[in-house]
Amino acid sequence: MIDAHAHLNDPRLSADLPDLLARMRAAGVEGALVVGYDLPSSQRAVALARAYPSLRAAVGIHPHDSKDLDAAALDALRVLAREPAVVAIGEIGLDYHYDHSPRPAQREAFRRQLALARETALPIVIHEREAEEEVRAILDAEEGWALGGSWHCCSVDAVSATEIARHLFIGIAGWITFPKSEHIRALARAVPMERLLIETDAPYITPVPFRGRRNEPAYLPYTLQMLAEVTGKPAGDVEQSTTMNVRRAFPRWTLDEGGYDG
C-alpha cells in the first residue's frame, strides 16, 4: 500500500518522523508521496525523498500560496524538478473555497506550473476546491490532461469523476470514511479501480475512527478498508491495484527505486 499524498514535510509531522515512518511500515504502508505546498515545503519534500528510500516528492505551490509564485520561485522549482526523487509537480490548482490568494493569481500560478510540468515532462497533482469548472477549463487550454498524474482528494460528482479519470488518477482520502460523505463513496464506486489512488493528505482529513486527531500514513488502511467495502472488492485486490496505480500515475517512481541511501 502506498500513500499517494501526504505532507510529511509539514512541521506537525516532521517533528517525530522516525517514529511516524516506523508506524507507517508497521501498518503495511510501504511508501508515500510527500507533496510540496510552497517553496520551503517543496525543498523539504525533496530532502526527505533523498533521505528515505520509501518516499518520493512532488514540488509545487498550492493555490493558497499562488501569490508567492514569482520568477525566482518558479526557477527554484525548476531546479528541484531535476532531482530524480521528484516524481510530480504539485500540488497545484485552484481553491475558491478559502480564496487565500486572489483568483487571478491562482489561475496564473496554475498555468505557469502546468507549463513547468510540460517542460520537465512530469505528471501533476491537482488540488481543487469549489473550482472544478475552471480547473478543467485550464487543463483543456494548457494541454494539462496529457501530463497525467492525480486529482487529489477528489470530491466532484460521480459523472465528472469518471470523465476526469480518463486522464488523471483519482485520489481517495479519509473523507470516504465519514458518515456524511456518500458522494465520495458514489464516486469511488463509479470510477474503475484501475484509476483510483488512496491517500491520507496527512496531517489533514483523518479517517474514522481517528477523526479529529492528527492524520498520518499509518491510518491509510482505514481508507483502503472502506474503499474495499464500498466497491465490494477484496481488500487485497484493492491494495494491489492502488499500489500499482501509484507507479502508473507517477512513472518516475519505479525508475529510481532503491536509488538512494536511507
Residues at the interface with Zn ion (CB under 5 A): 201
Nearest distance, CB of residue 4 and Zn ion, angstroms:
10
Residue closer to Zn ion by CB (options 201, 239) is 201
Nearest distance, CB of residue 36 and Zn ion, angstroms:
9
Nearest distance, CB of residue 60 and Zn ion, angstroms:
10
- Nearest alpha carbon to residue 228 among 176, 182, 183, 178: 176
Residue closer to Zn ion by CB (options 52, 151) is 151
Question: Residue type for 141, please?
Answer: A
Question: Could you say which DSSP state residue 32 is in?
Answer: E
Residue closer to Zn ion by CB (options 128, 201) is 201
Torsion, CA 144, CA 148, CA 152, CA 154, rounded to 10:
80
Interior angle at CA 239, CA 23 and CA 194, nearest 5: 140
Nearest distance, CB of residue 37 and Zn ion, angstroms:
7
Residue closer to Zn ion by CB (options 181, 231) is 181
The residue with cell 465519514 is 178
Chain residue whose CB lies nearest Zn ion: 201
* Segment holding 135, helix H or strand E: helix 132-141
Residue pair 152/171 in contact by the 8 Å Cβ criterion: yes
Residue 23 CB: number of other CB atoms within 10 A?
15
Instruction: Kindly list the distances between the CA atom of residue 133 and the CA atoms of 30, 54, 95, 139, 157, in Å, as whole numbers in the listed order.
Output: 35, 35, 12, 10, 12
The residue with cell 525566482 is 72
Residue closer to Zn ion by CB (options 32, 116) is 32
Nearest distance, CB of residue 12 and Zn ion, angstroms:
13
Residue closer to Zn ion by CB (options 63, 231) is 63
Torsion, CA 225, CA 231, CA 233, CA 237, rounded to 10:
-70
- Nearest alpha carbon to residue 127 among 60, 190, 177, 69: 60
Residue closer to Zn ion by CB (options 6, 231) is 6
Nearest distance, CB of residue 232 and Zn ion, angstroms:
29
